[in-house]
Amino acid sequence: MTERMTGAQSLVRALEQVGVDTVFGIPGGAILPAYDPLYDSAKVRHVLVRHEQGAGHAAEGYAQATGRVGVCMATSGPGATNLVTPIADAYMDSVPIVAITGQVASAAIGTDAFQEADISGITMPITKHNFLVTNADDIPRTILEAFHIASTGRPGPVLVDISKDALQADTTFSWPPTMQLPGYRPVTRPHSKQIREAAKLILEAKRPVLYVGGGVHKARASAELLELAELTGIPVVTTLMARGTFPDSHPQHMGMPGMHGSVSAVGALQKSDLLIGLGVRFDDRVTGQLSTFAPNAKIVHADIDPAEISKNRHADVPIVGDCKEVIRELIAAIDAKGDYAEWWNLLNGIKETYPLGFEEFEDGTLAPQYVMQRLSAIVGPDAYYVAGVGQHQMWAAQFVDYENPGTFINSGGLGTMGFAVPAAMGAKMGRPESTVWAIDGDGCFQMTNQELATCAIEGVPIKIAVINNGNLGMVRQWQTLFYDKRYSNTDLKTATRIPDFVKLAEAYGCAGLRCERAEDVDAVIKEAMEINDRPVVVDFVVHADAMVWPMVAAGTSNDDIKIARDMAPKWSDDE
């Protein structure tokens, strides 16, 4: 099919052709030509957000909940630069989004024109790829390429910056265009020799661990993972990005490793003689001090991105490939069972001795971890939980039980405060039939809560648990531990009800509830679960001094994990 139309019309047609149903954005001068045909599209719903950062995180939430590419749109200059944070966030967490920005007219590029910013230059290091389009004829092909790049191989953000004159020019639309991506050929099939080597190491190992990261769910390989784990009997740890990829309730699950991981997960890695890393980055938050990380372990490292392999820790057996195919081939290659009985004795001992726990407060104030446990118990594992960044995020990772892949959505790599509300909105729009709870901090919530207006107006009834400890709690925790309790600029004074989150919720057309005592938690959660005609904000007023434990202090060894202040687990009886 070939039709005459404007560049802007061809953009909207291309979006329809690649299957876009939702775009989050805000118009402005340079992108305005695109908003005109968008007005008529019967297939693409544009959601008018209140801040472009919200558009970007909403696209991420949509992408993570659906597995499809999320889309956001902004105008040139400040509109585009407001997308920088979510683009960087998507890059760090390998989230497939396409960001479409208007650019000043091509003749004005480089003249410091009104609202000009070199957004393709700015985002060069934080996008998987980006395009500057100045010719209307290139728009459909560029859109097709952008969606292909964002969603294949290691997923990630792609920016398409289109000059205003290209949007306004006449062009011919024909579909499908031919992609021109020489050199872009992600390797998905693992090399069979590497698989054989890995299988051999697995059989020889006495203390193997499946170290599972966000890449496994991105490859939609959790069923294969379960099969491999049960076939081999190897213990599994799930990183922050992999919570739910392997069921928490499974007896082989050792928990989350890392700075705030469980003793059993951290201990399993440290004492292992073989780590089978699947879709992981050996991130510093998992390894702790790199030189002392899993000192006796050989490494099998499978990832679709060859740049990840041996980036932080040398891989004895590197495997480049899609995790689904890698795991399938490992299953096929493993024809006997290793003997891991002693290993399991040790690990089960650690798991029993050091379960996750928390402190209750004698003055009757609410423990935030208790709120998580009750949310988990009442709301259940079929909901999506979307966290902000800070202590509440760690408690959400620790104390909510995840049974289903992809049900915990958070900002892992970049650690972006303000992620939760807009990402929850995007997740709910992608999965309208599911319950979506944002678990946010009182600090984070104040960064992006304006998207409550979007949710209320667009009919997106998310639920938000604000874990209100009155402080930038995670920073305060570090001040308690490492800065002699000198609380420089971490008291938000939220305890003085500035703002009053219940009134704020109501001002935005949402329901607002408050909970301050343990005995009310269940009733408030149930009340929130019953409100489905508008978003609900619950202000959980919790104790300011609750801390996240266990903890491996930044830069120290995983071996020095503490289960509370100055309290180390006893490892001695194991070797």
Ligand X SMILES: Cc1ncc(C[n+]2csc(CCOP(=O)(O)OP(=O)(O)O)c2C)c(N)n1
Please list the active-site residues. 52, 114-115, 164, 474
Which is nearer to Mg ion, 216 or 548 (by Cβ)?
Answer: 548
CB 390 → Mg ion: shortest distance, Å? 6
In angstroms, rounded to a whole number, what is the distance separating the alpha carbons of residues 510 and 504?
A: 9
CB 512 → Mg ion: shortest distance, Å? 18
Beta-sheet strands, E only, within 61-169: 70-74, 97-103, 129-133, 157-163
Which is nearer to Mg ion, 410 or 469 (by Cβ)?
Answer: 469
444, interface contact from Mg ion, ligand X, none, CB < 5-8 Å by kind: ligand X
Instruction: Count the site residues for Mg ion by CB under 5 A.
Output: 5
Short-list 96, 101, 102, CA closest to 128: 96
Please provide the DSSP assignment of 122-150 as one string.
HTGGGSSEEEEE--GGGHHHHHHHHHHHH
CB 214 → ligand X: shortest distance, Å? 18
CB 392 → Mg ion: shortest distance, Å? 7
In angstroms, rounded to a whole number, what is the distance separating the alpha carbons of residues 164 and 525?
A: 48
| Binding piece for Mg ion, criterion CB under 5 A, among 139-147, 343-351, 417-425, 467-475 | 467-475
CB 571 → ligand X: shortest distance, Å? 29
Residue matched to tokens 């801040």: 51
Count of all residues that appear for the chain in the document: 575
| Residue 30: burial class (beta carbons within 10 Å; 0-12, 13-18, 19+) | buried
| Binding piece for Mg ion, criterion CB under 5 A, among 116-124, 268-276, 313-321, 435-443 | 435-443
Q: Is 441 an interacting residue with respect to Mg ion (CB under 5 A)?
A: yes
CB 397 → Mg ion: shortest distance, Å? 16
CB 448 → ligand X: shortest distance, Å? 10
475, interface contact from ligand X, Mg ion, none, CB < 5-8 Å by kind: ligand X
Which is nearer to ligand X, 9 or 446 (by Cβ)?
Answer: 446
Q: Is 449 an interacting residue with respect to Mg ion (CB under 5 A)?
A: no
| Binding piece for Mg ion, criterion CB under 5 A, among 178-186, 194-202, 423-431, 443-451 | 443-451
Three-state DSSP state, 72: strand
CB 385 → ligand X: shortest distance, Å? 15
CB 269 → ligand X: shortest distance, Å? 24
Short-list 460, 409, 444, 376, CA closest to 48: 460
Residue 109 CB neighbour total at 10 angstroms: 17
In angstroms, rounded to a whole number, what is the distance separating the alpha carbons of residues 269 and 61?
A: 30
Which is nearer to ligand X, 32 or 475 (by Cβ)?
Answer: 475
| Binding piece for Mg ion, criterion CB under 5 A, among 332-340, 418-426, 473-481, 530-538 | 473-481
Tokens of residue 66, six digits: 């659906």
Q: Is 442 an interacting residue with respect to Mg ion (CB under 5 A)?
A: yes
49, interface contact from ligand X, Mg ion, none, CB < 5-8 Å by kind: none
In angstroms, rounded to a whole number, what is the distance separating the alpha carbons of residues 553 and 184?
A: 40
Q: Is 255 an interacting residue with respect to Mg ion (CB under 5 A)?
A: no
Cis status of the peptide bond prior to 499, with omega within 30 of 0: yes
Which is nearer to Mg ion, 402 or 501 (by Cβ)?
Answer: 501
474, interface contact from ligand X, Mg ion, none, CB < 5-8 Å by kind: ligand X
417, interface contact from ligand X, Mg ion, none, CB < 5-8 Å by kind: ligand X
Which is nearer to ligand X, 276 or 547 (by Cβ)?
Answer: 547
283, interface contact from Mg ion, ligand X, none, CB < 5-8 Å by kind: none
Residue matched to tokens 């599209």: 41
Q: What is the Cβ-side half-sphere exposure of residue 53, based on CA atoms within 13 angstroms?
A: 16
Which is nearer to ligand X, 22 or 448 (by Cβ)?
Answer: 448
Alpha carbon distances (Å) from 453 to 65, 432, 458: 21, 18, 8
Which is nearer to ligand X, 350 or 421 (by Cβ)?
Answer: 421
Please provide the DSSP assignment of 442-479 as one string.
HHHHHHHTTHHHHHHHHT---EEEEEE-SB-HHHHHHH
Cis status of the peptide bond prior to 306, with omega within 30 of 0: no
Tokens of residue 485, six digits: 């309790």
Q: Which residue among 287, 416, 469, 558 contacts Mg ion (CB under 5 A)? A: 469
Per-residue burial over 405-418, b = 16 or more CB atoms within 10 Å of its CB, e = otherwise? bbbbbbbbbbbbbb
416, interface contact from ligand X, Mg ion, none, CB < 5-8 Å by kind: ligand X
* C-beta separation of 146 from 98 below 8 A: yes
Q: Please give the residues from 232 up to 251 whose contact with Mg ion meets the rule CB under 5 A.
A: none
Per-residue burial over 75-87, b = 16 or more CB atoms within 10 Å of its CB, e = otherwise? bbbebbbbbbbbb
Which is nearer to Mg ion, 114 or 361 (by Cβ)?
Answer: 361
Tokens of residue 281, six digits: 């980055």
Residue 146 CB neighbour total at 10 angstroms: 28
Q: Is 473 an interacting residue with respect to Mg ion (CB under 5 A)?
A: yes
389, interface contact from ligand X, Mg ion, none, CB < 5-8 Å by kind: ligand X
Interface residues toward ligand X, by CB under 6 A: 388-392, 415-417, 441-444, 467, 469, 471-475
388, interface contact from Mg ion, ligand X, none, CB < 5-8 Å by kind: ligand X
Residues that bind Mg ion (CB under 5 A): 441-443, 469, 473
